[in-house]
Structure formats: structure tokens, C-alpha cells
């Protein structure tokens, strides 16, 4: 069955989550690390994940300012969306990601995850929050 990927794009990392085959539950997959602002490198690594997971849709976090404006990070996410769609033909849905990283951090702190280990998985957890929010609304 087809799956949906959730993505949390940063300047040096790309957190990835994936849905179960029924599109009900999101789980963390990995964090792709790439050279700062090298989104071509991030895309190359992402294409491997897409190819290995029978993906038919992607949900990408769209960072917005608290007032709803789209800033530089948001513009980069929109450009990355276009890059993914051009490379794969897969629909990419942009989802407001305000406070998803904050929520992920709180969950990890409540789980007594050390600061060092939180840093390793925070992007994946943010991607899970992005994707799970999408799945819950769907």
C-alpha cells in the first residue's frame, strides 16, 4: 500500500516521518543531514527514502511567523516543495508547522530524553507531529 511522508526541513537537517499503510499513524524514520542550505543534497538523499517506501504523497512543514506571515524559511520550504514535485511527480502538501518543534521538544523532555539524544531526534519528532496532524485532519 502507498504511504505518506512527513518532512520537517531545516537549514542542515531534514526530519522524516512515514505513515502506516492505512494512513492512520505516523512514525519517525530518520534525520537526513546535509551541508548548510544545500537543498539539492537534501533532495538527493530524500529521493532514496521515497524510492524505498512506496510513497504517494508528501506533507512538508511550512514555517510561518506567529502572525501568519511567511518568511525566508517558509520561502525555502516552498522552493523545496517545487524541487520534490519536479523530481518525483508526487504531490507535496504544505502544512503550517508553527510550534511543532516546540511540541516535539516537550514530548522528549517528558520522556526524560537527554539533551544530547533530543538533538538527534528532534527533527524526526517534528516530522511526526506534522504528518500526524495531517493524518488526523484527513
By CB atoms closer than 10 A (0-12, 13-18, 19+), residue 5 is buried
**pLDDT score, position 70:** 81
Of 60-64, 71-75, 105-109, least confident by mean pLDDT is: 105-109
Answer whether residue 98 shows pLDDT above 80.
Answer: no
**pLDDT score, position 34:** 96
**pLDDT score, position 71:** 82
The pTM is what?
Answer: 0.85
Mean pLDDT of 60-65: 85
Answer whether residue 92 shows pLDDT above 60.
Answer: yes
Helix, strand, coil percent content, the chain, rounded in steps of 5: 45, 25, 25
Domains located in the chain, CATH noted = 3-137 (3.30.420.140)
Amino acid at each position: 500500500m502507498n504511504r505518506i511522508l512527513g518532512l520537517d526541513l531545516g537549514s542542515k537537517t531534514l526530519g522524516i516521518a512515514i505513515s502506516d499503510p492505512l494512513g492512520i499513524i505516523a512514525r519517525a524514520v530518520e534525520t537526513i543531514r546535509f551541508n548548510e542550505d544545500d537543498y539539492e543534497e537534501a533532495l538527493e538523499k530524500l529521493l532514496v527514502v521515497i524510492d524505498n517506501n512506496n510513497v504517494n504523497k508528501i506533507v512538508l512543514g511550512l514555517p510561518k511567523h506567529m502572525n501568519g506571515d511567511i518568511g525566508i524559511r517558509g520561502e525555502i520550504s516552498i522552493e523545496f516543495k517545487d524541487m520534490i514535485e519536479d523530481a518525483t511527480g508526487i504531490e507535496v502538501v504544505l502544512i503550517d508547522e508553527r510550534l511543532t518543534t516546540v511540541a516535539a521538544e516537550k514530548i522528549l523532555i517528558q520522556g526524560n530524553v537527554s539533551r544530547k539524544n533530543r538533538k538527534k531526534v528532534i527533527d524526526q519528532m517534528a516530522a511526526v507531529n506534522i504528518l500526524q496532524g495531517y493524518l488526523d485532519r484527513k
